[in-house]
Amino acid sequence: MTSQTLEVNARNYRWMSRPVVVVCVDGCEPAYLDAAVAAGVAPYLARVMKTGANLLADCVVPSFTNPNNLSIVTGAPPAVHGICGNYFFDRELGQEVMMNDPKYLRAGTVLAAFADAGAKVAVVTAKDKLRKLLGNKMKGICFSSEKAEEATIAENGIDHVVELVGMPVPSVYSAELSEFVFAAGVKLMETRRPDLMYLSTTDYVQHKAAPGSPAANAFYAMMDRYLAQLDELGATIVLTADHGMNDKHGADGSPNVIYLQDVLDSWYGAEKARVILPITDPYVVHHGALGSFATVYAPDEATAAQWIESIKQVPGMESVLTRAEAAARFELPPDRIGDIVVVGDRKTVIGTSASRHDLSALEVPLRSHGGVSEQRVPLICNRPVTGIASGRRLRNFDALDLALNHAQ
């Protein structure tokens, strides 16, 4: 098998010569790593950032969790795999529908292709919402921390996960939910030695704690210990993120939010515009469903063009694009975005109507993501990489390319 190359979504991947682990650290703004290294709490990362490859990459916009996780495992942008948020408006159905179902996936994953070719593949994700998408049509192990207790051989390719990991199943809103992912990754490497493993955490800590803060440094210190163990076990590790994270609040701690549905209703009358926030998901406690990306459905194209000019005047809007412009610039599937795409700036999030956002659960001033301002993410390999063309725009979805084709 060693000379074999697999083609997936028009890219070639070499067969691994040692186990490969790709880690997607949810919401890992590069400053988190720099601050943890500077504080001396991440000695392993400090070392590999010198001796391996320490690069930056651009994630997919909208800089949300699902579009980026799917990009990383398919090696392709949402225009290819189809997942561009948690929600979209299905015009034919006349309904807002969740995009979490694998039926919306338009491309196979590199993970599934390697499993089909005989590799041992394992996926561990913090939240269960991602599990079915990441594990779509994949033979092997695939489970979430959240539902670790329910894992069965038939559904997840593994059972007795909690006993294996030796850690109780954490709350869905906790740093430990991500720790469980790393702990499981180490145990899997020790006991089953997968050829290819994908670990994906949750951004609970990053939504609350800025780079260099005690909670953030504790998180990265924890991660550092597990990564060192995976390295000890002989793995090639590539670490990247689904998106960055920024403060989205004013000096008084209240969120900088534009309630775009309310704005459009006040201008054009109720129910003319439909604002969709693709960040919306069943787990809203840490961000109140507020991110820096929204899409708007207008009655027709001519109206959309007029609205765009007006929305551009709203403070805090970084770009306001037509569907075609957004699809081209961000490599998005045009049929799953609205007539208008609105991106908030570094400090601003976009809501629908004030009455539809429950901000009472926000325990700390809002930090969030979704825009171009959260596009820079780390791309780190524990080994030197060669053969990367100079001037190449690296993406987080080059992680598998880096690990399989370029790592020494």
Gap between the Cα atoms of 261 and 213, Å rounded: 35
Bridge partners for 11 per DSSP: 8
Residue nearest to Zn ion (CB): 65
Nearer to Zn ion, 26 or 29 (CB): 26
**Strand-strand pairing, 236-240 and 257-259:** unpaired
Nearer to Zn ion, 52 or 288 (CB): 288
CA contacts within 13 A on the Cβ side of 134: 30
Nearer to Zn ion, 24 or 276 (CB): 24
CA–CA distance from 377 to each of 8, 51, 139, 347 (Å)? 24, 19, 30, 18
Nearer to Zn ion, 203 or 401 (CB): 203
Nearer to Zn ion, 58 or 116 (CB): 58
Nearer to Zn ion, 178 or 352 (CB): 178
Which residues are near Zn ion by CB under 5 A? 26, 65, 203, 242
**Minimum Å distance from CB 201 to Zn ion?**
9
Burial 115-150 (b: 16+ CB within 10 A, else e): beeebbbbbbbbbbbbbbbbbbebbbbbbbbbbbee
Nearer to Zn ion, 61 or 115 (CB): 61
**Strand-strand pairing, 141-144 and 121-125:** parallel
**Minimum Å distance from CB 396 to Zn ion?**
11
> Is the dihedral angle over the CA atoms 297, 300, 305, 309 positive or is it negative?
negative
**Minimum Å distance from CB 248 to Zn ion?**
14
**Minimum Å distance from CB 216 to Zn ion?**
15
**Minimum Å distance from CB 243 to Zn ion?**
5
**Minimum Å distance from CB 100 to Zn ion?**
14
**Minimum Å distance from CB 2 to Zn ion?**
35
Tokens of 334: 């045009």
The DSSP code sequence of 67-130 is HHHHHHHHTS-HHHH---SSEEEETTTTEEEE--SGGG--S--HHHHHHHTT--EEEEESSGGG
